[in-house]
Amino acid sequence: MTTRIAALALGAGLALAAGPASAGPFDSGPLADFMNIFKTQAIPRETVAYAGKEKPGTIVVSTRQRRLYYVLGNGAAIRYGVGVGRQGFSWSGVKTVTMKKEWPAWRPPAQMLARRPDLPRYMAGGQDNPLGARALYLGSSLYRIHGSNEPETMGAAVSSGCIRMTNKDVVDLYDRVRVGTKVVVHD
């Protein structure tokens, strides 16, 4: 019976990480505590087999898988769990890393302020900043690959189009990537 409950909780935890939270019969009590372990832990970074055609040093983001791959070459890549654009904010295409910033300041774009006038107009870089520990700016777009203090959003479609990573993972990627790196985003 314990194995069955663990399997159900694991399945529920993964489902909650992939979609919006909703109230249910297991929102409190021991099973809820068990399931919260899965909701709040980031997706582990790992080196995986990679059969794509991109050159080493390329970043590939699969919005459907909610994973980012840093291509190493020789059939391998580092795979990271990411948060991606929510419905209506997802995108695909090829961009280039045009700038890198450590502990970047945040200025919400006009489009975001129109939707959320309660947001601050400026936030200095630091622990509470929504861009997290590092940001990779993608061309002249408003999109970035950036850190987040919300590990529970990894594996979910939650952003306004940016690719979110845990702060630990974005620091790792930041140290590998150079300005000029190709970034391929697809479904």
Condensed to tens digits (0 to 9), the pLDDT of residues 107-120 reads 988 999 999 999 99
Do the Cβ atoms of 143 and 91 come closer than 8 Å? Answer: yes
pLDDT digits (tens, 9 = 90+) for 43-91: 999 999 999 999 999 999 999 999 999 999 999 999 999 999 999 999 9
**What pLDDT does residue 149 have?**
86
**What pLDDT does residue 176 have?**
98
Q: What domain range is 22 assigned to?
A: 2-40
CA–CA separation, 157 vs 101, rounded Å?
24
pLDDT digits (tens, 9 = 90+) for 117-165: 999 999 999 988 999 999 999 999 999 999 998 989 999 999 999 999 9
Dihedral, 91, 94, 96, 101 alpha carbons, nearest 10: 20
On whether both 121 and 68 belong to a single domain, the answer is yes
On whether both 9 and 92 belong to a single domain, the answer is no
Q: What is the mean pLDDT of residues 4-20?
A: 33
Burial of residue 101 (number of CB atoms within 10 Å: 0-12, 13-18, 19+): middle
**What pLDDT does residue 41 have?**
53
Task: Mark whether 186 is an active-site residue.
Answer: no
Do the Cβ atoms of 48 and 81 come closer than 8 Å? Answer: no
On whether both 61 and 36 belong to a single domain, the answer is no
pLDDT of residue 184 exceeding 60, the answer is yes
Give this prediction's pTM. Answer: 0.77
pLDDT of residue 11 exceeding 80, the answer is no
Nearest-CA neighbor of 98 among 55, 137, 61, 125? 137
DSSP 128-143: T-TTTTEEEEETTSS-
**What pLDDT does residue 68 have?**
98
**What pLDDT does residue 38 have?**
42
On whether both 113 and 68 belong to a single domain, the answer is yes
The catalytic residue among 162, 170, 173, 177 is 162
Instruction: Specify the number of domains making up the chain.
Output: 2
On whether both 94 and 125 belong to a single domain, the answer is yes
On whether both 27 and 93 belong to a single domain, the answer is no
**What pLDDT does residue 19 have?**
35
150-179 as b/e, with b when 16 or more CB fall inside 10 Å?
bbbbbbbbbbbbbbbbbbebbebbbeebee
pLDDT digits (tens, 9 = 90+) for 13-36: 333 333 333 344 444 455 444 444
On whether both 118 and 134 belong to a single domain, the answer is yes
CA–CA separation, 127 vs 149, rounded Å?
8
On whether both 33 and 95 belong to a single domain, the answer is no
Instruction: Find the DSSP H helices in the chain.
Output: 2-18, 30-40, 110-115, 167-176
On whether both 139 and 98 belong to a single domain, the answer is yes
Task: Mark whether 119 is an active-site residue.
Answer: no
On whether both 154 and 89 belong to a single domain, the answer is yes
- Find the CATH number of the domain harbouring 168: 2.40.440.10
Nearest-CA neighbor of 69 among 90, 86, 53, 91? 53
CA–CA separation, 155 vs 149, rounded Å?
14
On whether both 104 and 175 belong to a single domain, the answer is yes
The C-alpha R_g of the chain, in whole angstroms, comes to 17
On whether both 90 and 107 belong to a single domain, the answer is yes
The catalytic residue among 67, 79, 134, 146 is 146
Nearest-CA neighbor of 8 among 19, 46, 25? 25
